[in-house]
A and B are shown apart, each in its own frame.
Chain A
Amino acid sequence: EEQLVESGGLLVQPGRSLRLSCATSGFNFRDHAMHWVRQAPGKAPEWVSGINWNSISLGYADSVKGRFTISRDNAKSSLDLEISSLRREDTAFYYCVKDAFNFWSGGRFESWGQGTLVTVSS
């Protein structure tokens, strides 16, 4: 069974930094692009960032470009998201998502973690 388990979400002040992690199992991690997708309470999901299977190509939503950094470790089957200069509008559940394809522009989100909540508030 495929598992994606996020961690690292918490209550943080505006302007601070945070690192989210995702541990995966049950599938061949290095065969798939991976993404972070967030969802503010009561809103539709919003794609945040994606990374190719080999980490050579990365993609970011305009709203997070320059503040978020995605990375992966194929040896550990893990995905990370480094978030800096947090804003109130970054408050959301952050989901680790497996793509059906090995390139991040593939965009077929076939497996999701349970999400980790990031709350940005003073």
Chain B
Amino acid sequence: DMQMTQSPSSLSASVGDRVIITCQASQDTRNYINWYQQRPGKAPKLLIYDASNLQTGVPSRFSGSGFGTDFTLTISSLQPDDIATYYCQQYDNLPPGTFGPGTKVDLK
């Protein structure tokens, strides 16, 4: 079965900081990686699909990159509204919804 890892598991950053979260897949997933944001007490929300495509309505400070097994989610300038847990998810292999363990982002 596909395994996903993320690092770091948590981070603290200041408003305006650049934040980078990495995701690694145990097998080649080509570019079939999505990124989700989950604010406390809310459902996950799709941010990035196919590794680098911004979902409609998502602010442009979010971006994604990567191919194969290594991927990154970048927040170019952290805002208070970005405090959340971020998950990567692969959908190249079945089952379609293998998620990473998450990265919790807090304000310093």
Contact = CB atoms under 8 A, between A and B. Distances in A.
A62 to B, nearest CB: 8
Interface stretch (B11-19, B65-73, B75-83, B99-107): B99-107
Contacts of A110: 46, 49, 55
Interface centre among A44, A46, A105 (most CB of B within 10 A): A44
A25 to B, nearest CB: 16
20 contacts: A37-B97, A45-B36, A45-B97, A47-B95, A47-B96, A47-B97, A59-B94, A95-B44, A105-B91, A105-B94, A107-B34, A107-B89, A109-B34, A109-B36, A109-B46, A109-B97, A110-B55, A112-B45, A114-B42, A114-B43
B interface bracket (residues with beta carbon within 8 Å of A): 20 to 34
Interface residues of A, number: 23
Interface of B is mostly: loop
Contacts of B43: 95, 112-115
B89 A109 contact: yes
A106 interface: yes
A109 B44 CA distance: 9
